[in-house]
Amino acid sequence: MAHVGLIVNPAAGRDVRRLTGGASVVDNYAKRRVAQCVASGLTIADDPPRVSVMPDKTGIAEHVAQEAPDGVAVETIDMPVEETAADTRRAAAYVREHADVAVVLGGDGTTRDASLELGDVPLVSVSTGTNNVVPTPVDGTVAGAAAAAVATGLVDAGAVTARHGRIDVVADDATGEKRLTGLAAVGIVDRPFVGTRAVIDPTELLGGVVSRAHPSDIGLGSVAGCIEPVAPDEPGGAAVRLGDAETAPRTVRAIVAPGMTTAVGVERHDALAWDEPATFAVSDAVVGADGEREIELVDATVEMTPTAGGPRLVDVEEALGAAADAGALVRDGPVVPDPDR
C-alpha cells in the first residue's frame, strides 16, 4: 500500500516576528485543520495511501487520526517528542525509510530540517510558517491530493518534482570549525548573539548566499532577486554583500521581512554556479539560515556554497494536472459504494 508521511511543526508561524512585523499568526487550530484537509485530499485515489504523522503535544496528530476520512488509515510515528527541531528531523528520517511521499507543514526552517533527512523522498511543502520562501501557500486538500497522486503512482514522480538547491556553510573561528545547512538563504547578521533566533532587523544583515532569488521572496532572496532572479530549479545561486543604503553603489527596494519593505544598499552581487563558494570575513556576528539565527562567530571566515543537494519538491499543480491528463481522475459509469467504507 502507498504510504504518506505527514510532518506538522506546532511551533512554526508563532515566533517574535508576529510582534515586530506583519507576519500572520498560524495557530495550532489552523494547523489541525490544514492537516485534516491533507488527509481528506488523499481520498482522490481509489485506494488512498496510509498516513504516518509526527506526534506532538498540542493534539495535531491526535486530531488527524480522529477526523481521518473513511478509507484513510492513520498511525502516529513511534518516537520521543522534544518540542525542538529534532522532532522534525527524527520524523523525516522515519518517513525516508517507510513512506513514498512527505507532506510538511511549516516554514522555511521546518522544510529545511525535514529535507536534511528525507533524501530522495518527494516533498510537498505547505506554508504554515513565518519565512515562507520554499513552502507553497496551498490548500491542505490540494496538497494531500497531489501527495496521493505521486505516492500511488497516478503520475510519474520524476515528471512532477524538481530538485531544489541548498547552501552548505563552513565557518572557522576562534572556537574551531562549525557547519550549517540552509535551504533558501544563509545570511550573516551583525549581532553578536543568537537571541530570539528570528532575524527581525534587516539593517543588521551584512550579506550572504541564496539558492533562489526573486523580488517576491522574503529576506535575502528578495534583495538578490531585485538584481537577478534565480529560479528554484535553476543551478547555482547568488552571493550578495550589503552596505549602507546612503553610500552603497546601488540600492534595491526589497521585501526584507513579513510586513516590511525597505531600501537596502548592495555593495556587490555575484552569480554562483553549483559548488562555487563565496567567502565572508566577519569579526563579531551570527550566521542565520532561512530566517533564523543559528551560529555565533568571532573573528571568523565563513564559506557558503550552493549545491544541488536539496529536496525533491512536488509541483502540486503539475501533479494534479498530469493526473487529469492521464485520465487517472475519471471513471466510467456510476459510483458503486464500497461496503467496507
**CATH number for position 289:** 2.60.200
Q: What is the pLDDT of residues 82-111, one digit of tens each?
A: 999 999 999 999 999 999 999 999 999 999
37 has a pLDDT exceeding 90 = yes
Most confident of 3-17, 111-125, 129-143, 185-199: 111-125
Mean pLDDT of the region 276-289: 94
Judgement on whether residues 57 and 159 belong to the same structural domain of the protein: yes
Q: What is the CATH number of the domain that holds 73?
A: 3.40.50
To the nearest whole percent, how much of the chain has pLDDT over 70? 90
Q: Answer yes or no: do 154 and 240 share one domain.
A: no
| pLDDT of the residue at 198 | 54
In the block, residue with C-alpha cell 523522498 = 121
Q: Specify if 271 maps to a domain.
A: yes
What number is the average pLDDT over the span 281-302?
A: 90
Cβ density class 224-238: b for 16+ within 10 Å, e for less: bbbbebbebeeebbb
The answer, yes or no, to whether residue 292 has pLDDT greater than 80, is yes
Q: What is the mean pLDDT of the chain?
A: 91
Q: How confident is the model at residue 291 (pLDDT cuts 50, 70, 90)?
A: confident
The answer to whether residues 52 and 110 belong to one domain is yes
**Which of 4, 20, 220, 191 has its CA nearest to residue 108?**
220
- Give residue-wise pLDDT tens across range 53-72: 999 999 999 999 999 999 99
The predicted structure's pLDDT at residue 130: 62
Q: Count up the domains in the chain and report the number.
A: 2
Q: What is the pLDDT of residue 146?
A: 98
41 and 134 assigned to the same domain? yes
Q: What is the pLDDT of residue 12?
A: 73
Average pLDDT over residues 10-14: 70
Same domain? For 132 and 183 the reply is no
Residues 151 and 204 both lie in one domain: no
Q: Do 222 and 266 fall into the same domain? A: yes
Is 340 domain-assigned?
Answer: no
Q: Do 42 and 151 fall into the same domain?
A: yes
- Residue 335: inside a domain: no
Read off the pLDDT of each residue in 275-294 and give the average, rounded to a whole number.
Answer: 92
Amino acid of residue 269: H
What's the domain range around 100? Answer: 3-163+311-325
pLDDT: which is higher, 190 or 241:
241
Indicate if the alpha-carbon torsion angle 152, 155, 156, 161 is positive or negative: negative
Same domain, 86 and 48: yes
Residues 36 and 142 both lie in one domain: yes
Q: What is the pLDDT of residue 196?
A: 47
pLDDT tens-digit map of 180-232? 999 999 999 886 655 445 555 666 789 999 999 999 998 999 999 999 999 99
Segment 227-248 shows an average pLDDT of: 95
* 297-321 mean pLDDT: 96
Q: Is the same domain home to 9 and 156?
A: yes
Please tell me the predicted confidence (pLDDT) of residue 32: 95
